[in-house]
Chain A
Amino acid sequence: MKLSRVLGLAAVTAFAAGTASAQISDNVVKIGVLNDQSGLYADLSGQGSVVAARMAAEDFGAEQKGIKVEVVFADHQNKPDVGSSVTRQWIDRDGVDVIVDTPNSAVALAVNEVVRGSRAAFLNSGAASSDLTGPKCSPNTVHWTYDNWALANGTARAIVQAGGKNWYFLTADYAFGHDLEKQVSIVVENSGGKVLGAVRHPLNTADFSSFLLQAQSSGAQIIGLANAGGDTINSIKQAAEFGIVRGGQKLAGLLIFLTDIHALSLDVAQGLQFTEAFYWDLNDSTRAWSERFAQRHGGKKPTMVHAGVYGAVLHYLKAVEALKSDDGAKVVAKMKEIPTEDPVFGKGQVRADGRHVHPMYLFEAKAPSESKGPWDYYKLIRTIPAEEAFRPLDQGNCPLVKKG
């Protein structure tokens, strides 16, 4: 039961000497982190995203620059109606200027519509739906970290090329799962593979044995897990129990987060291939940033969602500074104008459809013997360059993209 709608307030910076620009509403840039604080996605987003947003404000040096930044957060309980009403209240009453994170595609799509046309901006890191930068794209929205198209493109293509031609899906029965299944099916079929079928399970299912048995009897070579968080963990764990992998079928984790592997342990997860936008152990810069993050988040390393919140907020504040305004659509336009650079994603850009592009990475979970300790879980298989990693701009049907 998630009765608590946690509304925490935390001022990140103290009053700066002198007032900030008159065009920044209420003289404060108020960042609202809206995500799952208590449910199955709380570890991959949750408080970690709040920590990341605060780190971005500090690293930006808001205080020194005379801009006051405040971070608040709320729990959307994975319910689109709760997410929309919090967003409305934040924008209309509490003066929140930017909504950040928001995993769960169903909630994200709802929030996207509330923010559209308002004076706020929406920086999404946690949700996967590629519609956010496709038909549903909005002048107020930036989609930072990953999306279903990129996941399908990264993982499914590699698996089909390695010989995994026949697919069967275990799909979470809501917006995200349907979209991911669709995107992966397209990639599979375009690369010469075949989709044999799918079974849709309710969000937050404990027992997958029945679904796994159906997948097993389908005879498919690859069982694609079009689900996330706790659902993925349970599917993988129980697939091991039912001897699915030993029986010759392979699992494809289509959306895997570092916290999932941590909960599964490498014994169960080893050999699994998946695509992510970020891993703490990529280079010196990500290691240093992740170390700082871990110190403030109980020793836990960041997920790509946390990293995305950091990158997006940092870039947003740069645009606010350049513009001397926090008007949502204007800031987002500015974010698309200036190139992005941060210690987490390196250099990149925000495209006209709101998509932030950067390299994606195909990883494999290490064998327990290869791991040096907690959180040392991934082997890099392939870096997917930014220009290949995301859906080409002209294929998303985003109305903001001018047809040339």
Chain B
Amino acid sequence: MFELLGISPQALFGQLLIGLINGSFYAMLSLGLAVIFGMLNIINFTHGAQYMIGAFVAWYALQYFGLNYWWSLLIAPIVVGAFGIVLERTMLQRLYKLDHLYGLLLTFGIALILQGFFLNEFGSSGLPYPIPPSLQGGQNLGFMFLPNYRAWVIVFSLVVCLVTWYLIERTKLGSYLRAATENPTLVQAFGINVPRMITLTYGFGVGLAALAGVLAAPIYRVNPLMGADLIIVVFAVVVIGGMGSILGSVVTGFALGIIEGLTKVFYPEASNTVIFVIMAIVLLLKPAGLFGRTA
């Protein structure tokens, strides 16, 4: 079978693993988007910029405060999440009752402003960020050389995805949240502060983007356009998975990473379009997405 595909099994396994690594970035980013859309009904186009800022916070912390990667994993989500909370309080909150389009336009505009600002300050080539010493090097798996850092990325993002899913689908807090999305007035009548819960949820979703940004910093360039390049793909992932479906976004994130990885072997020229082709097909056959619930 492998001979038919014109590729050795070793190479194929290598590519599958790489697909999984890229998929973990898609999964983490689309997870944040799905949380925000599912709970707030906001299409958060600032997500890419928030991911980029996460990476910049990591760079800044290292450069000016000597705080290493592990601190950044903690600090970046808090800093960027706090920024998200301010954004939600001052602007997004006013748009919940309006059409989705308004939220989309606002967040898109903010993303452009943020990107422009960073581009102006830091240039387009990007800034170097080293892999933390404890994760340097790699393992020879026989069929490929797996850098330790990439292995860490898979494990870490899987854990984050599972914890988030558990939090929202299986805990009491999560059930409050889901109830508040269905019927905020009723939930408020039970004495729960719904607006605050919504604000914190947005902060959490944004924090996830920043966390992905820190994870990406040692692999990609820390660069103002890193989010803009990724966000469109991530939106496609969310649409394929079903808008607002937590599990859907995680599963599709990993699956599309693998499909994209394989495309890079069999038809590399199409590797940046394949996801959109899949999106078009899924939308034709299943307009609510693979895991979406039709209203």
Contacts and interface: CB of A to CB of B under 8 A. Distances in A.
Interface stretch (B28-36, B127-135, B186-194): B127-135
Nearest to A244: B145
A173 to B, nearest CB: 6
Contacts, number: 118
22 contacts: A1-B115, A1-B228, A38-B119, A38-B124, A46-B123, A199-B268, A201-B268, A202-B268, A205-B271, A206-B229, A207-B220, A213-B15, A214-B11, A233-B126, A237-B219, A238-B219, A242-B145, A262-B125, A263-B126, A264-B128, A267-B128, A300-B123
A202 B221 contact: no
Given A43-B125, A242-B138, 19 more contacts: A38-B119, A41-B124, A42-B119, A44-B125, A173-B269, A201-B268, A202-B272, A205-B271, A210-B18, A210-B19, A217-B11, A230-B124, A230-B125, A238-B219, A241-B219, A243-B147, A263-B125, A263-B128, A267-B128
Which of B11, B125, B220 gathers the greatest number of chain A CB atoms within 10 Å? B125
Interface residues of B, number: 45
A43 B118 CA distance: 13
A264 B222 CA distance: 10
A33 interface: no
Nearest to A38: B119
B221 A263 contact: yes
Given A207-B22, A263-B221, A43 B124 contact: yes
A200 interface: yes
Contacts of A216: 145
Interface size bucket, A side? 35 or more
Contact of A43 (B123, B147, B261): B123
B184 interface: no
The 9 nearest A-B residue pairs measured at CB: A210-B264, A265-B128, A263-B125, A42-B124, A43-B125, A202-B272, A43-B123, A259-B125, A209-B18
A234 B124 contact: no
B226 interface: yes
Interface of B: 8, 10-11, 14-15, 18-19, 21-22, 111-112, 115-116, 119, 123-128, 130-131, 137-138, 144-145, 147, 149-150, 219-221, 223, 225-226, 228-230, 261, 264-265, 268-269, 271-272
A267 B220 CA distance: 15
